[in-house]
Each structure stands twice: as C-alpha cells, then as structure tokens.
Amino acid sequence: MTDDASVAGEPDTQALDDLLDDIFRAQERVTQAEIYRRAVAAELPPDLLARIDALPEGEYAVDEASDLLGGSIG
C-alpha cells in the first residue's frame, strides 16, 4: 500500500493547496482569472488547470475555491 494519493486514483491536492495558500496569504477574495493565471505561472498539472478554468467567473474566498477545486484547505 502507498501513501501517494495520485496512485490510489485520487488527485494529488498538495500542489493545489500550496497554490491556494500562496494566493490567499494576503487577500481575502481572489478572482477565478487570478487563480488561473497564478496556476499557469506555477506550472500546475493540466488536470488542475482544467478544474480551475472550469470555475465560474467571480471572486472566491480560500474555502470556496478549495471546496470547488477539491483541495483540502479551508
């Protein structure tokens, strides 16, 4: 058995959690466009970029973004 979530068929949320921590460090709400821009700059995997791109336009708090994207912070 392994602790690697991606091997078990679950997405690895560490990269997403790290990105959201960084983005929301000094801001309460961030737009979908800014989250996507920062994700591209951070070279997140295509599956995570696709999930971020699929978010409706608007502003999100860290818990909202994490819930919608499948992260584990909030």
Q: Band the pLDDT of 74: cuts 50, 70, 90.
A: low
d(C-alpha 26, C-alpha 66), whole Å:
16
Q: Can you give the residue range of the structural domain that contains 59? A: 35-74
For residue 50, is it within any domain? yes
For residue 46, is it within any domain? yes
| Contact partners, residue 11, CB within 8 Å, separation at least 6 | 5, 47, 48, 70
Q: pLDDT tens digits, residue range 32-62?
A: 999 999 999 999 999 999 999 999 999 999 9
Query: pTM here?
Result: 0.80
For residue 10, is it within any domain? no
Number of domains in the chain: 1
CA angle at 60 for the pair 18 and 10, rounded to the nearest 5°: 45
Contact (Cβ atoms closer than 8 angstroms) between residue 58 and residue 32 = yes
